[in-house]
Structure 1
Amino acid sequence: MSLLKIEDVWKHYHGLSVLRGIDLEVAPHEVVCLIGASGSGKSTLLRCVNLLETIDDGAIHLDGAEITDVRADADDVRRRIGMVFQAYNLFPHMTVLDNITLAPRKVHGVRTEEAEARARELLDRFGLADKAGEYPDRLSGGQQQRVAVIRAVATDPRLLLLDEVTSALDPTLVTEVLGVIRELKETGMTMILATHEMGFARDIADTVCFLEGGVLLESGPPEQIFSAPEHPRTRAFLQRVLEARRM
């Protein structure tokens, strides 16, 4: 059974269709990478899955239940989904430890001692054990984004959504954030990533989905999408990416 099922999802903004009939299934422990040019609908799709945007047609199911039903409890859904944005969105007046433990304590009712132990375990695993008492403005961009990822997984979500989490980083800091994501895959975390990092997508994804103009034009295993794409628009996009790297 799929952990997430997206069925014929449409989303419109001011008369413009930004998602057009998206169908996608994500199995437990699967990593799906969404690729495509800016404005192709990747971020909007992630926001719809997390109920930050309301879809105009279709349905989204999580663990077999329709979460886009008007009767669904959006807060309950978001307790089961973690999301990391392009911006770090850390609370500047709170320490790293407090940022990470806030949701477990206030939303999930975890005891402070237990929440802090879990947070310190994650910080240690991802090389930030010495940053627990620091404030976000004392951290590098890469460190802040790693904290944002840790905050999202501290509640043990069923599904983790990552929206271009390296796009705001200096290239020298990208590797450390991608390393965290790679380790999460090894632990079996189910993830959907919108990314411009083609090499990383090829390396980490179980399934790669190419979006253009709000349409999911092609999906498949990385070796197929990157080595032998079937759709001409996929081939054209990947060719543009390759040419841009050569410049």
Structure 2
Amino acid sequence: MALLEMAGVRKSFGRNVVLRDVDLVVEPGQCVVLIGASGSGKSTLLRCANLLEVVDDGRITFEGEDITDPRVDADAVRARMGLVFQAYNLFPHLSVVGNLTLALVKVHGVGRDEAEERSLAMLDRVGLREKATARPDDLSGGQQQRVAIARALVAQPALMLLDEVTSALDPELVGEVLDLLGELKAEGVTMLLNTHEMGFAREVADTVCFLHDGVIHERGTPAEVLGAPREERTRTFLARLRT
């Protein structure tokens, strides 16, 4: 059974149609990478998967449950996913470890001692244990993004959604975040993400989907989509990236 499945998903903002009849499947343990120009619908697709946006039509199934059913508890669904934004969205008034423990205690009902133990272990996992008592403003952009990823992971989500997590970083900091995502993939973490980092997509993705004007025009393995694209729109997009 697929972990996440979208069928005929449509989303508009006023007269602007952002997603058009999108079909997408994410299997457990897979890394599915969305590529496409800005405005192609990638971020909206992630927000629909997390129920931050309500779809106009179509169905999204997560862990066998139709989460587009209006009777579904959206907060309960989001608690089983981890969402990481490009702008980190850390709480500046909390310490690094406080950022990780907050949702564990308030949303997942974990005791404070256990929450701190799990959070420190996760910070150790992402190489930031020594920054546990620091505030986010004391960290580099790459460190902040690794904390944001750790915060999403510490709740042990079934699915990680990552929205352009390197786009706000200085070029020299991109590698440390992509290295972490590669490690997570190797550990079997299921990820759906969008990125402009084609090298990362080529190395880590199981499936690459090219979006244009809210439509998935091409999908396949990295070798197929990035190495030998069939569609002219895909070839044009990739050629622009390489110039």
Give the alignment of 1:119-130 within 5 angstroms: 119-130=119-130
Instruction: Name the CA distance, whole Å, in 1 between partners of 2:30 and 2:121.
Output: 24
Q: Which runs of 5+ in 2 are unaligned?
A: none
Name the aligned partner's letter for residue 228 of structure 2. Answer: A
Q: Larger deviation: 76-85 or 177-186?
A: 177-186
Deviation >3 Å, runs of 4+: none
**Residue in 2 that maps onto 1:203:** 203
Aligned partner of 1:78 in structure 2 is: 78
| Amino-acid identity (%) | 60
Per mean C-alpha deviation after superposition, the further-off stretch among 169-178 and 180-189 is: 180-189
Aligned length: 243
Between the aligned partners of 2:65 and 2:123, the Cα distance in structure 1 is 33
Equivalent position of 2:135 in the other structure: 135
Aligned to 1:182: 182
Q: Secondary structure of the equivalent of 1:39?
A: coil
Q: For residue 70 of structure 2, what is the amino acid of its counterpart?
A: V
| 1:154 counterpart letter in structure 2 | V
Query: Corresponding residue for 2:44?
Result: 44
In 2, Cα distance between the equivalents of 1:179 and 1:94?
26
- TM-superposed CA distance for 1:209, in Å, is 0.3
Give the C-alpha shift of residue 116 in structure 1. Answer: 1.1
Tell me the distance in 1 between the aligned counterparts of 2:155 and 2:24: 25
* AA at the equivalent of 1:50: N
User: Are 1:53 and 2:58 counterparts?
Assistant: no
Residue of structure 1 equivalent to 2:230: 230
For residues 3-25 of structure 1, what are the alpha-carbon distances to aligned partners after superposition, in whole Å with 9 as ceiling and x for unaligned?
Answer: 00000000001111100000001
Match of 2:153 in 1: 153
Instruction: Note if 1:12 corresponds to 2:12.
Output: yes
Equivalents in 1 of 2:95, 2:182: separation in Å? 26
Runs of 5+ consecutive residues of structure 1 not aligned to the other structure: none
* Cα distance in 2, alignment partners of residues 179 and 155 from structure 1: 21
Q: Which residue of 2 aligns with 1:64?
A: 64
How big is each residue's C-alpha offset from its partner over 1:203-242, in whole Å with a ceiling of 9 and x where there is no partner?
1100000000000001001011111111111111111111
Q: Classify the secondary structure of the residue corresponding to 1:48.
A: helix
**Aligned partners of 2:63 and 2:122: how far apart in 1?**
26
Deviations 1:152-179 (A, max 9, x none): 0110001000000000000000011111
CA distance in 2, matches of 1:179, 1:114: 28
TM superposition shift of 1:122 = 1.3
Name the counterpart of 1:168: 168
